[in-house]
Structure 1
Amino acid sequence: MRKVIGVFVLFVSLMIISGCGTTDKNSTTTNIDDSKWKDVEESGKLVVGTSGTLYPASYYPEGSDRITGYNVEVIREVAKRLGLESKFEIMSFDSKMAALQSGRVDVVMAGPRDESKEKFNFSEPFKYSYSTMIVRSEDHSGIESLEDLKGKVAGGAATTVYSDIARKYGAEVKTYGNATNDVYLRDVANGRTDVIINDYYLQSLALKAFPELDIELHPDLKFHPQTVSVVTPKEDQILADKIDETVKEMKNDGTLTKLSGEFFGGQDVSQEIKDDIKEIEGIE
């Protein structure tokens, strides 16, 4: 039985908004290798790379062996509408793109960067968000601006945009494996690290799970708007087109809004954010 604390691992890859072109999901595309789609269709399964410890995006509820979460239920519904079962492979963020490129999995869920857009297709985003910081409540860990990150220690994974932001402003990044969020949060609270930069929605939910810790979301800093999409290898264009069209259908018929409400306390993460969010030059 899998037993995972209902909290999230803070190394989600969420970057700038990007979408793919679409075709009718029942149509064929000329001059494109459709072998991947044929293989997936023949197998009847869509293999998905996901963390399994990322509450509320991808996690095992306490006492359950069935993976769930917003990302998981989105891709589960996509697969269902394409006539497929979904099979989930558990892996850390830092290994997801390599697993996708090697063919170990058919899709992952992440946000685009310029270099990744050259190798992968990104569907219509199914989640919009921005970055915030978790800091100590008593003094905001000495951080009142992004520039104050200089000399601080930030908890994160090696290859996320959040770690890129921390390094850009002079912070040292303390890296973790596929750890649950309590490890990250307790390190900030006890002073082993100073800050966690990550997704607003995920961090706000994580804090609710640990009210005893003297930490909080920074009240003044909102930056780096970002999205999450379904990702496929560049050469798998027919599979990508079918997924993209299905995600759009789910957005239009209200399915994404319904799923978001279930996992994000009634908030709709499937809609673009209208707040004034600071862009960071040089960070994708």
Structure 2
Amino acid sequence: MRKKLLSTVGAAAIAVSLAACSAGASDAPDAGAEASDGLTLAEVQESGELVVGTEGTYRPFSYHEGGSGALTGYDIEVVTAVAEKLGVEVTFEETQWDAIFAGLQSGRFDIIANQVSINDEREAAYTMSDPYTVSPGVLIVADSNTEIASFDDLSGFSSAQSLTSNWYEVAVGYGATVEAVEGWAQAAELLTQGRVDATVNDELTFLDFEKTEGDTGLKIVDETDDASLNAFALPKGSDDLAAAINEALAELRADGTLAAISESYFGSDVSE
């Protein structure tokens, strides 16, 4: 029976490991959590399904069209294509970001597909797949803002950030005063209302926002030197399953599937 288990920041020289642009608690394993012995491809194939944890509220990566339609998004299409390569059905379990890693640990789902950025902490705690999204972080301000033209100008200004996102680390590293928000939508709202001076977020999130909303009154003024590499997170020790997922991603990249999915959401290939 299958066991489901679960930039660079200027003169301060703070090492930045880029993360998903979502709010929530720390994704480090709970001290009392049972250690995972991982999952294998054989276990997943025997069960006939890949259970995927995702937010369902993180456009354009994982969301419901119109708010109540079918679950869709870049991550949803990519992981569905991966599951097809593995020969199994995909089942989605929607949860808030602050509970998503606990869900992986407890066995509620097998992997997380939610723009999880690869960093040292996560690589130590989980098995990470190869990246399927590559994107820099960007500094966003109002069109009318003439005081902030780069990250070096952030010191002393306010920036709307999710406290557990590493975009928060970027903003703090450059001396910004952080206004805590739950995610991109709230950050954009505060920025357009003039209640904060800036926000740091994923470039793709902003590009989708522009594509959806049209004239947003916001602009990108700078970007991080390092790109965020986003991947699937699996229980630690799931090397066999991760290898199969990586093989599937390689095939999807080679046959143009990842590029096609990327083009449909972003107008360019963001998978490499």
User: TM-score if structure 1 supplies the norm length?
Assistant: 0.76
Task: Report if the CA contact (8 A) 1:132-1:198 is conserved.
Answer: yes
Which residue is 1:27 aligned to?
Answer: none
Q: Is structure 2 residue 122 aligned with structure 1 residue 116? A: yes
Q: Is structure 2 residue 21 aligned with structure 1 residue 11? A: yes
Structure with the larger strand share: 2
Which residue is 2:227 aligned to?
Answer: 225
Which residue is 2:61 aligned to?
Answer: 57
Which of the numbers 247, 256, 263 marks the counterpart of 1:261?
263
Task: Report if the CA contact (8 A) 2:39-2:237 is conserved.
Answer: no
Which of the numbers 125, 139, 142 marks the counterpart of 1:136?
142
Q: Is structure 2 residue 125 aligned with structure 1 residue 125? A: no
Q: Is structure 2 residue 89 aligned with structure 1 residue 85? A: yes
> Runs in 1 of length 4+ with deviation above 6 angstroms?
none
| Distance in 1 between residues matched to 2:248 and 2:216, nearest whole Å | 41
Task: Report if the CA contact (8 A) 2:74-2:262 is conserved.
Answer: yes
Structure 1, 201-210 or 233-242: larger mean CA deviation = 201-210
- Report SS of the residue matched to 1:75: helix
The residue type equivalent to 1:252 in the other structure is A
Which of the numbers 236, 242, 245 marks the counterpart of 2:244?
242
* Structure-2 change in CA distance of 1:239 and 1:158 (3 Å): same
| Distance in 2 between residues matched to 1:59 and 1:97, nearest whole Å | 19
Residue 65 of structure 1: CA displacement? 2.9
| Distance in 2 between residues matched to 1:92 and 1:207, nearest whole Å | 24
- Report SS of the residue matched to 2:52: strand
| Distance in 1 between residues matched to 2:223 and 2:148, nearest whole Å | 10
Residue 215 of structure 1: CA displacement? 1.8
Q: Cα deviation per residue 1:143-181 (whole Å; 9 max; x = unaligned)?
A: 12212222222222221110110111122322233x562
Gaps of 5+ in 2: 1-19, 24-36
The residue type equivalent to 1:175 in the other structure is A
Q: Cα deviation per residue 1:63-122 (whole Å; 9 max; x = unaligned)?
A: 653111111100011111112111112223333222222222211131111111112122
| Distance in 2 between residues matched to 1:261 and 1:193, nearest whole Å | 32
Residue 217 of structure 1: CA displacement? 1.8
* Structure-2 change in CA distance of 1:180 and 1:130 (3 Å): closer
Q: Is structure 2 residue 49 aligned with structure 1 residue 48? A: no
RMSD: 2.4
Residue 138 of structure 1: CA displacement? 0.8
* Structure-2 change in CA distance of 1:98 and 1:264 (3 Å): same
Task: Report if the CA contact (8 A) 1:123-1:247 is conserved.
Answer: no
Percent identity reads: 33
- Report SS of the residue matched to 1:48: strand
Residue 253 of structure 1: CA displacement? 1.4
* Structure-2 change in CA distance of 1:268 and 1:149 (3 Å): same
Task: Report if the CA contact (8 A) 1:204-1:217 is conserved.
Answer: no
Residue 261 of structure 1: CA displacement? 1.0
Gaps of 5+ in 1: 1-9, 14-32, 272-284
